[in-house]
């Protein structure tokens, strides 16, 4: 396994396991010929990031910590950061217990609105680490609060399609399950365009329940929207 000395064995293992899920389509859309090259490009571009040296990031962290204060489990997850520039789509994501930000992500105008929006993104990413740390509580939310159900595994689903006619977009912040929503519709994040271009768009904009959950809960925590009574009860008990 390839390693980066500045990252923990846990984080390095999650990175390696993630890139092992790639098919050719996922690799090519990220500028590589195969999974091995995707991982190599990604690892070579990684750099540790320390918030104390980033005024804008520190401001967003202070704002995020203010919003997270009522939620003990989330608050107790430490902030750990790195940057990347290759091998993955240019969006914040997580591996293990660490948040990875696109290179230059903090190079924005320093104002209160930008800091506020960045804080919501940081909460979103910390929720992905929570999902990894607390899979039972996460599935209590998905299955009992949102009335979803686990339908299949991505690997088993993909084997039902031949000749590369379908490809699930891999995402480091999700798991290997396919879910159905409360209306019994499968949530299938496969690529919208399959001609080996660099488009990351998928046919189902919901992407994956872990993404839906992170977006919605981050908005609730930052008081953008109000949760339902069942959602609020779960948040008070498990976050």
Return the percentage of the chain with pLDDT > 90, whole number. 72
Q: What is the DSSP letter of 176?
A: S
pLDDT exceeds cutoff 90 at 155: no
Give the CA-trace dihedral at 129, 130, 131, 134, to 10 degrees.
130
Distance CA 42, CA 139 (A): 30
pLDDT at 199: 80
- Partners of residue 190 on adjacent β-strands: 168
Average pLDDT of 12-39?
94
Give pLDDT tens digits for 220-229. 999 999 999 9
Distance CA 131, CA 112 (A): 29
């Amino acid at each position: 396994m390839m390693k980066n000395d500045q990252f923990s064995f846990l984080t390095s293992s999650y990175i390696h396991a993630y890139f092992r899920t790639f098919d050719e389509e996922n690799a090519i859309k990220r500028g590589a010929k195969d999974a091995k090259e995707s991982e190599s490009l990604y690892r070579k571009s990684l750099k540790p990031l320390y918030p104390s040296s980033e005024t804008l990031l520190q401001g967003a962290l202070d704002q995020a910590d203010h919003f997270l204060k009522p939620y003990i489990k989330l608050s107790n997850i430490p902030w750990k950061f790195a940057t990347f520039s290759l091998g993955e789509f240019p969006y914040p994501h997580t591996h293990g217990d660490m948040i990875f930000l696109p290179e230059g992500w903090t190079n924005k105008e320093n104002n209160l609105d930008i800091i506020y929006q960045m804080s919501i993104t940081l909460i979103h990413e910390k929720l992905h680490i929570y999902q990894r740390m607390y899979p039972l509580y996460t599935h209590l939310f998905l299955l009992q609060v949102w009335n979803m159900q686990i339908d299949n595994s991505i690997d088993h689903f993909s084997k039902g399609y031949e000749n590369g006619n379908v490809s699930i977009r891999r995402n480091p912040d999700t798991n290997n399950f396919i879910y159905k929503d409360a209306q019994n519709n499968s949530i299938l994040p496969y690529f919208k365009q399959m001609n080996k271009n660099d488009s990351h768009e998928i046919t189902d904009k919901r992407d994956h329940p872990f993404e839906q959950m992170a977006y919605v809960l981050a908005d609730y925590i930052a008081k953008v929207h109000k949760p339902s009574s069942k959602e609020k009860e779960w948040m008070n008990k498990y976050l």
